[in-house]
């Protein structure tokens, strides 16, 4: 079988290059002049994404951001649990925000629809393009992860985390860091799926806290729950309803 030419590989790489990758690319040799002349203009694109996000989400007052694996299929018990949890949150008066993709995100947007609550998706440009799930009332597309992260935090009254991978863990620890450093306040964090989170929590307690890397009270920044009704009740009682006002 003939091997693809180096030029076709280069063309394929060019097609899958994202805005984040270009922004984070380091200047190399002769490219330095081009790099320094284009980055200042890229700032305007970044500004545009912030303006778009603020404009699209300005009317959101009480919403919960739900995170979890994009790889969870509809026959995964966590998919159904996420759907029922989002439905309970919707019936409690919260809009539901996700990353707009499949898996837990789809299940959560679907649950919001079941409750006739606002279902919002904040999609991100990826090398292998992620399509938005079909259960969205409002979709906002972003090129830059950090802009999208800002929107997920600013307009959330609470964060709910289902089992997931690197992306979910990234969002979890960023949320906890913002609470720990008091960059945000009165924003409940709930981990759903106690069996999945148990090894991580044990490590945080027995190793990280034991060695003084975090304070014992930092382990109180989140709650672990498995029942959808309890999740909605806890968030309703704990949230000030104005997620992100303190940012």
In 3D, which of 173, 93, 88, 86 has the Cα closest to residue 133? 86
CATH, domain range 52-238: 3.40.50.450
SS3 135: coil
**pTM for this model (two decimals):** 0.83
Where exactly are the structural domains of the chain?
Answer: 52-238
**pLDDT tens, the chain, 247 aa long:** 445 444 444 455 555 788 878 777 766 655 555 655 677 778 888 999 999 999 999 999 999 999 999 999 999 999 999 999 999 999 999 999 999 999 999 999 999 999 999 999 999 988 775 689 999 999 999 999 999 999 999 999 999 999 999 999 999 999 999 999 999 999 999 999 999 999 999 999 999 999 999 999 999 999 999 999 999 999 999 975 443 333 3
What's the pLDDT score for residue 16?
A: 72
Euclidean distance between CA atoms 173 and 229, whole angstroms:
25
Q: How far apart are the first and last CA of the chain?
A: 56
Euclidean distance between CA atoms 60 and 217, whole angstroms:
31
């Amino acid at each position: 079988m003939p091997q693809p030419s180096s030029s076709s590989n280069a063309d394929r790489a060019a097609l899958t290059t994202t805005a984040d990758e270009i922004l984070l690319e380091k200047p190399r040799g002769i490219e330095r002049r081009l790099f320094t002349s284009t980055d200042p203009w890229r700032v305007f694109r970044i500004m545009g994404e912030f303006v778009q996000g603020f404009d699209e989400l300005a009317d959101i007052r009480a919403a919960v951001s739900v995170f979890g694996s994009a790889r969870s299929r509809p026959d995964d018990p966590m998919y159904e649990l996420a759907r029922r949890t989002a439905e309970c949150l919707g019936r409690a008066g919260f809009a539901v925000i996700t990353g707009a993709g499949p898996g837990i995100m789809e299940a959560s947007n679907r649950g919001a629809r079941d409750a006739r609550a606002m279902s919002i998706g904040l999609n991100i440009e990826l090398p292998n393009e992620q399509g938005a799930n079909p259960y969205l009332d409002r979709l906002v597309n972003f090129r830059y992860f950090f802009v999208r992260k800002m929107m997920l935090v600013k307009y959330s009254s609470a964060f709910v985390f289902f089992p997931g991978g690197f992306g979910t863990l990234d969002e979890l620890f960023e949320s906890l860091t913002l609470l720990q450093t008091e960059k945000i306040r009165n924003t409940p964090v709930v981990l759903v799926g106690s069996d999945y989170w148990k090894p991580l929590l044990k490590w945080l307690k027995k190793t990280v806290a034991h060695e003084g890397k975090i304070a014992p009270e930092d382990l109180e920044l989140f709650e672990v729950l498995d029942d959808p009704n309890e999740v909605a009740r806890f968030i309703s009682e704990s949230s000030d309803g104005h997620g992100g006002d303190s940012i």
